[in-house]
Amino acid sequence: MNIDVSTLIDAIADPLILLFDGRVAAANRAALVLMRDDPIGATASDVLPHQLLQALHAPREDAPVIVADFGGPRRHWEVRASTISPGQSLLHLIDHTAAEAVEKMRVDFVANASHELRTPIAAISGFAETLADDEAGGDPATRHRFVEIIAREARRMQRLVEDLMSLSRIEADRYVAPGHAVDLAATAVSAAQAAAEQRQPRGADLVIVPMTRPIMVRGERAQLAQLVHNLVSNGFKYGDVGTPVTLSLRPHGGMARLIVEDRGEGISAKHLPRITERFFRVNATRSRAVGGTGLGLAIVKHIVERHGGVLTIDSEVGRGTAVCVDLPLAKRGDGGRPGHQTVTKWTDAAAAPAHGSGHERGKP
C-alpha cells in the first residue's frame, strides 16, 4: 500500500516540516499556515527562523529549542528535529503557547501578591519598631495614631489573604458544575444587605428593586452570595456618595439576570478589557484607600464562569457602571445531586445589558 508523504503528515495536528539538502521538501497544513507564501522548494533559511533551524544541530540531551513569535506574536513552540537520512530532516513543532501563558500568569500573580503584601508588612514593621523605642513611642497621641495604622494595615492584609484563599477555592472547583437549586433572589437580597451594613453610612444608598417571587438557579449559595457582596461593595466604593447603588434581578429568557448599578466616575473603554484581571486597578491609590484588594472582580469572574453564566460590564466615564450577570435558571429536578464535571464559559460582552449600562470597575 502506497501512502503519499504529504497525505500522511497532513493527518498530524502538530506542524511538521520536511527538509532535504537545506530546502523545504514538504510541510503539512498546520505548518503551512505558519509560513508566508509557498515555502515548498524554498531555502529553509529564507522561510524559517534561525532559532528554529538551530534545532537541527542541538544535541538531543540538551534542553529543547524554544522558538517565540513564529506564526504570530506571543506564540511559543518547542522544536524537535529528527534525522531521517543524510541530508533529510524532520522538524516537529509542539505548541507551548497556552503553557507559556499559564506560566506567565502564575509568575505575575506571585509577583503581584508579593507586592500587595509587602506594603502593609513594611508599614506594620516600621510603626511597630517606632513604638518599641521608648523615646519615639512614648507620646500617647503618637502611640495611639501608630497603633491605628498598624491595625488598619493588618486588616488590609487579612482581606487580601481571605480573597486569595477564596480565589484559590473557586479555581479548584472551576470545572465542577454546582448541582443544587438556590433561590438567587433571597441570596442576593441577604448578601446586598450584609454589604450595606458593612459600608455604613454609605450603605444607606442601597436600592433593591422588589423581587416578588423566588428565582431559582443551579449554584452554590456561598459563592453566589460572595458574587453579589463583591459587586454591591464595589458600587459603594466607587459610586459617588449620596447616589444609589441599585440591585435588580429578574428572569431573562432561560437565565436569571442580576444587575448592580452605581453612579460614579465610570471606567474608560481602554480599561474595560482588563478590569477582571487579578490585581488590576484603574486607580490603584484610590482602590487601596477604599479597602480594595484588586481581586474582587477576578473572584466574580470565576464564580460566573463556574456557574456557566455570562458577565457583562458596561461603563461610561462620568455616569457610572453597571455589571450584569446572567446565570442559567434551575431546571425541574435540579437540587440535591452532586455537580458533574463540565467546562463553563465566561465572556465580556460589548453591548450594554437591557436594564442599564453595565460595566465594571477596579476590584474591591
Sorted by sequence, the CB contacts under 8 Å of residue 192 that are 6+ apart come out as 206, 208, 228, 229, 232, 247
- For residue 217, the Cα-to-chain-centroid distance in whole angstroms is 23
pLDDT of residue 338: 35
pLDDT of residue 211: 85
Residue 197 belongs to domain with CATH number: 3.30.565.10
Domain count within the chain: 3
pLDDT bin (cut points 50, 70, 90) of residue 6 is: low
Q: Confirm if 283 and 362 have CB atoms less than 8 A apart.
A: yes
Q: Angle, to 10 degrees, between the axis of helix 296-306 and the axis of helix 221-238? A: 150
**217 and 298 inside one domain:** yes
pLDDT of residue 364: 40
288 in a structural domain: yes
93 pairs with which residues across the strands? 79
**239 and 306 inside one domain:** yes
Class of residue 92 by CB neighbours under 10 A (exposed 0-12, middle 13-18, buried 19+): middle
**323 and 242 inside one domain:** yes
pLDDT of residue 312: 94
Residue 106 belongs to domain with CATH number: 1.10.287.130
355 in a structural domain: no
**312 and 222 inside one domain:** yes
Q: Give the CA-trace dihedral at 335, 338, 343, 344, to 10 degrees.
A: 30
State how beta strands 181-183 and 216-218 pair.
antiparallel
141-169, pLDDT tens digit by residue? 888 888 898 998 898 888 888 888 888 88
Mean pLDDT score, 73-79: 88
Structure pTM?
0.65
248 in a structural domain: yes
16-35, pLDDT tens digit by residue? 999 999 999 989 988 998 88
- The three-state secondary structure class of 23 is strand
**209 and 263 inside one domain:** yes
How many percent of the chain have pLDDT more than 90?
A: 33
**120 and 78 inside one domain:** no
- The three-state secondary structure class of 111 is helix
pLDDT of residue 291: 65
**112 and 36 inside one domain:** no
30 in a structural domain: yes
Residue 63 grid cell: 534542553
Residue 45 CA to residue 355 CA, distance in Å, equals: 58
173-192, pLDDT tens digit by residue? 887 888 789 999 999 999 99
Q: Which of 117, 138, 171 is the last residue of a domain?
A: 171
Task: Return mean pLDDT, the chain.
Answer: 82
Q: Which range is least confidently modeled, 198-202, 319-323, 347-351?
A: 347-351
**70 and 138 inside one domain:** no
Residue 347 CA to residue 311 CA, distance in Å, equals: 6
pLDDT at 127 over 50: yes
pLDDT at 75 over 60: yes
182 in a structural domain: yes
Residue 146 CA to residue 125 CA, distance in Å, equals: 11
pLDDT at 359 over 80: no
pLDDT at 335 over 60: no
362 in a structural domain: no
354 in a structural domain: no
Residue among 315, 354, 309 at smallest CA distance from 328: 309
- For residue 354, the Cα-to-chain-centroid distance in whole angstroms is 25
**155 and 286 inside one domain:** no
**75 and 108 inside one domain:** no
Domain range for 232:
173-349
Residue 352 CA to residue 313 CA, distance in Å, equals: 7
CA 282, 286, 291 angle in degrees (round to 5)?
Answer: 110
Q: Which of 121, 147, 171 is the last residue of a domain?
A: 171
253 in a structural domain: yes
**329 and 191 inside one domain:** yes
210-255, pLDDT tens digit by residue? 988 999 999 999 999 999 999 999 999 989 999 999 999 999 989 9
274-328, pLDDT tens digit by residue? 889 888 877 766 666 666 678 889 999 999 999 999 999 999 898 999 999 999 9
Q: Which of 119, 137, 171 is the last residue of a domain?
A: 171
pLDDT of residue 289: 65
Q: Angle, to 10 degrees, between the axis of helix 140-172 and the axis of helix 296-306? A: 20
**262 and 336 inside one domain:** yes
Q: Which phi and psi (to 5°) does residue 342 adopt?
A: -155, 160
